[in-house]
Amino acid sequence: MKFGAIILLVLASATLAESAQIKSGFEFGDFTDWNIQGEGWSIYEKSASEGEKSAMCIVSKGEVPGLKACARIVNKTGPGWVVSAKLDVAGKIKSKSSKVNLALICIDAEGNTLREVKKQITTPLTKFQKVTLQELIIPSGTTEVYFMMVVEVIKTANSKEWWRFDNVVIDIK
Protein backbone atom coordinates (compact mmCIF):
# COMPACT_ATOMS: atom_id res chain seq x y z
CA MET A 1 0.00 0.00 0.00
CA LYS A 2 2.74 2.49 0.91
CA PHE A 3 4.76 1.59 -2.20
CA GLY A 4 1.73 2.36 -4.45
CA ALA A 5 1.23 5.73 -2.74
CA ILE A 6 4.91 6.60 -3.26
CA ILE A 7 4.71 5.72 -6.98
CA LEU A 8 1.61 7.91 -7.38
CA LEU A 9 3.35 10.77 -5.58
CA VAL A 10 6.44 10.45 -7.81
CA LEU A 11 4.30 10.36 -10.99
CA ALA A 12 2.29 13.39 -9.85
CA SER A 13 5.52 15.30 -9.09
CA ALA A 14 6.94 14.44 -12.52
CA THR A 15 3.76 15.67 -14.22
CA LEU A 16 3.80 18.92 -12.25
CA ALA A 17 7.47 19.48 -13.13
CA GLU A 18 6.62 19.23 -16.84
CA SER A 19 3.71 21.69 -16.62
CA ALA A 20 4.39 25.33 -17.36
CA GLN A 21 2.47 28.57 -17.38
CA ILE A 22 3.16 31.72 -19.38
CA LYS A 23 1.69 34.95 -18.05
CA SER A 24 1.66 38.32 -19.75
CA GLY A 25 0.09 41.42 -18.28
CA PHE A 26 2.04 44.00 -20.34
CA GLU A 27 3.15 45.69 -17.10
CA PHE A 28 6.67 46.25 -18.47
CA GLY A 29 5.12 48.76 -20.87
CA ASP A 30 6.19 47.00 -24.06
CA PHE A 31 5.58 43.91 -26.16
CA THR A 32 8.51 41.81 -24.89
CA ASP A 33 8.16 38.22 -26.21
CA TRP A 34 5.36 39.29 -28.61
CA ASN A 35 5.55 39.76 -32.38
CA ILE A 36 3.41 42.64 -33.68
CA GLN A 37 2.13 42.78 -37.27
CA GLY A 38 0.15 45.73 -38.57
CA GLU A 39 -0.32 49.23 -37.21
CA GLY A 40 -2.41 50.36 -34.27
CA TRP A 41 -0.85 48.31 -31.45
CA SER A 42 0.29 50.09 -28.28
CA ILE A 43 0.40 49.73 -24.51
CA TYR A 44 -2.56 51.41 -22.83
CA GLU A 45 -1.48 52.89 -19.49
CA LYS A 46 -4.71 54.13 -17.92
CA SER A 47 -6.44 50.96 -16.75
CA ALA A 48 -6.21 47.22 -17.05
CA SER A 49 -8.00 44.16 -15.74
CA GLU A 50 -4.97 43.37 -13.60
CA GLY A 51 -2.23 45.89 -12.87
CA GLU A 52 -2.05 49.22 -14.68
CA LYS A 53 -1.27 48.43 -18.34
CA SER A 54 -2.85 46.42 -21.14
CA ALA A 55 -2.21 45.84 -24.84
CA MET A 56 -4.39 47.92 -27.14
CA CYS A 57 -5.17 47.80 -30.84
CA ILE A 58 -6.86 50.79 -32.46
CA VAL A 59 -8.85 50.69 -35.68
CA SER A 60 -8.74 54.22 -37.12
CA LYS A 61 -11.67 55.94 -38.82
CA GLY A 62 -11.39 55.23 -42.55
CA GLU A 63 -9.18 52.17 -42.08
CA VAL A 64 -9.74 49.55 -44.79
CA PRO A 65 -10.17 45.79 -44.30
CA GLY A 66 -7.07 43.92 -43.16
CA LEU A 67 -5.45 42.08 -40.26
CA LYS A 68 -3.42 43.24 -37.25
CA ALA A 69 -1.82 40.50 -35.19
CA CYS A 70 -0.03 40.16 -31.88
CA ALA A 71 1.51 36.69 -31.56
CA ARG A 72 3.62 34.81 -29.06
CA ILE A 73 5.50 31.54 -29.45
CA VAL A 74 4.50 28.97 -26.82
CA ASN A 75 7.77 27.26 -25.80
CA LYS A 76 8.32 24.01 -23.90
CA THR A 77 5.78 21.98 -25.86
CA GLY A 78 5.82 18.74 -27.82
CA PRO A 79 3.49 16.16 -29.39
CA GLY A 80 0.80 15.05 -26.97
CA TRP A 81 1.14 18.11 -24.75
CA VAL A 82 -2.01 20.08 -24.00
CA VAL A 83 -2.06 23.88 -24.32
CA SER A 84 -4.87 26.16 -23.20
CA ALA A 85 -5.20 29.92 -22.98
CA LYS A 86 -7.33 32.51 -21.25
CA LEU A 87 -7.18 36.29 -21.22
CA ASP A 88 -9.20 39.40 -20.52
CA VAL A 89 -10.64 41.30 -23.50
CA ALA A 90 -12.47 44.62 -23.75
CA GLY A 91 -13.44 46.74 -26.70
CA LYS A 92 -15.46 49.58 -28.09
CA ILE A 93 -16.88 49.23 -31.56
CA LYS A 94 -19.61 51.49 -32.93
CA SER A 95 -19.92 50.59 -36.59
CA LYS A 96 -18.91 46.94 -36.12
CA SER A 97 -16.03 47.38 -38.54
CA SER A 98 -13.77 44.98 -36.64
CA LYS A 99 -13.72 41.72 -34.74
CA VAL A 100 -11.14 39.73 -32.79
CA ASN A 101 -9.95 36.20 -33.42
CA LEU A 102 -8.01 34.49 -30.64
CA ALA A 103 -6.17 31.30 -31.57
CA LEU A 104 -3.73 28.61 -30.52
CA ILE A 105 -2.03 27.29 -33.66
CA CYS A 106 0.35 24.35 -34.32
CA ILE A 107 2.66 24.83 -37.34
CA ASP A 108 4.93 22.29 -39.07
CA ALA A 109 8.42 22.96 -40.49
CA GLU A 110 6.95 24.10 -43.84
CA GLY A 111 4.63 26.62 -42.17
CA ASN A 112 1.45 24.57 -42.61
CA THR A 113 -1.21 24.67 -39.92
CA LEU A 114 -1.54 21.22 -38.36
CA ARG A 115 -4.15 22.02 -35.72
CA GLU A 116 -5.76 25.10 -34.21
CA VAL A 117 -8.45 26.25 -31.83
CA LYS A 118 -10.10 29.64 -32.27
CA LYS A 119 -12.53 31.91 -30.54
CA GLN A 120 -14.10 34.93 -32.20
CA ILE A 121 -15.39 38.06 -30.46
CA THR A 122 -17.65 40.38 -32.44
CA THR A 123 -19.47 42.22 -29.65
CA PRO A 124 -17.09 43.19 -26.84
CA LEU A 125 -17.87 44.66 -23.47
CA THR A 126 -16.26 48.01 -22.60
CA LYS A 127 -15.18 46.39 -19.32
CA PHE A 128 -12.82 43.42 -19.41
CA GLN A 129 -14.36 39.99 -19.79
CA LYS A 130 -12.56 36.67 -19.28
CA VAL A 131 -12.25 34.65 -22.50
CA THR A 132 -11.09 31.02 -22.48
CA LEU A 133 -9.92 29.02 -25.49
CA GLN A 134 -10.57 25.30 -25.78
CA GLU A 135 -7.62 23.02 -25.00
CA LEU A 136 -5.34 22.11 -27.90
CA ILE A 137 -3.52 18.77 -28.07
CA ILE A 138 -0.27 19.21 -29.99
CA PRO A 139 0.03 16.76 -32.92
CA SER A 140 3.26 15.11 -34.06
CA GLY A 141 5.15 17.10 -36.68
CA THR A 142 4.60 20.40 -34.85
CA THR A 143 7.65 22.68 -34.87
CA GLU A 144 6.03 25.82 -33.40
CA VAL A 145 2.96 26.60 -31.31
CA TYR A 146 1.60 30.15 -31.35
CA PHE A 147 -0.97 32.08 -29.34
CA MET A 148 -2.41 34.87 -31.47
CA MET A 149 -4.63 37.89 -30.88
CA VAL A 150 -5.83 39.08 -34.29
CA VAL A 151 -7.87 42.22 -34.86
CA GLU A 152 -9.60 41.92 -38.20
CA VAL A 153 -10.97 45.03 -39.90
CA ILE A 154 -13.91 43.56 -41.84
CA LYS A 155 -15.20 46.75 -43.50
CA THR A 156 -13.98 50.31 -43.86
CA ALA A 157 -14.25 51.84 -40.40
CA ASN A 158 -16.78 54.68 -40.04
CA SER A 159 -15.47 55.56 -36.58
CA LYS A 160 -12.54 54.83 -34.29
CA GLU A 161 -12.74 51.43 -32.61
CA TRP A 162 -10.44 49.85 -30.02
CA TRP A 163 -9.69 46.46 -28.51
CA ARG A 164 -7.74 45.85 -25.28
CA PHE A 165 -6.10 42.64 -24.06
CA ASP A 166 -4.72 41.85 -20.61
CA ASN A 167 -3.85 39.09 -18.19
CA VAL A 168 -2.92 36.52 -20.83
CA VAL A 169 -2.33 33.08 -19.26
CA ILE A 170 -1.16 30.13 -21.36
CA ASP A 171 -1.11 26.75 -19.61
CA ILE A 172 1.06 23.89 -20.89
CA LYS A 173 0.57 20.35 -19.58
pLDDT digits (tens, 9 = 90+) for 106-147: 999 999 999 999 999 999 988 999 999 999 999 999 999 999
Stretch 69-86: mean pLDDT, rounded?
94
Return the amino acid letter for 114: L
In this structure, is residue 2 part of a structural domain?
Answer: no
Strands (E), the chain: 20-24, 35-37, 41-44, 54-59, 66-73, 82-92, 98-107, 113-121, 129-137, 144-153, 161-172
Stretch 68-97: mean pLDDT, rounded?
94
In this structure, is residue 44 part of a structural domain?
Answer: yes
Q: What is the CATH number of the domain that holds 127?
A: 2.60.120.260
Give pTM, 2 decimals: 0.86
* Owning domain of residue 135: 21-172
In this structure, is residue 7 part of a structural domain?
Answer: no
Q: How far apart are CA 17 and CA 2, in angstroms?
A: 23
Q: What spatial distance separates the first Cα and last Cα of the chain, rounded to whole Å? A: 28
In this structure, is residue 10 part of a structural domain?
Answer: no
Q: What is the number of domains present in the chain?
A: 1
Which residues have CB under 8 Å from 160's CB, separation 6+? 58, 59, 60, 61
* Residue 1 predicted with pLDDT over 70: no
Question: How many percent of the chain have pLDDT more than 90?
Answer: 76
In this structure, is residue 102 part of a structural domain?
Answer: yes
Return the amino acid letter for 54: S
pLDDT band of 40, cuts 50, 70, 90: very high
H-only helix segments in the chain? 2-18
In this structure, is residue 1 part of a structural domain?
Answer: no
In this structure, is residue 88 part of a structural domain?
Answer: yes
In this structure, is residue 43 part of a structural domain?
Answer: yes
Which residues have CB under 8 Å from 173's CB, separation 6+? 15, 18, 19, 81, 82, 83
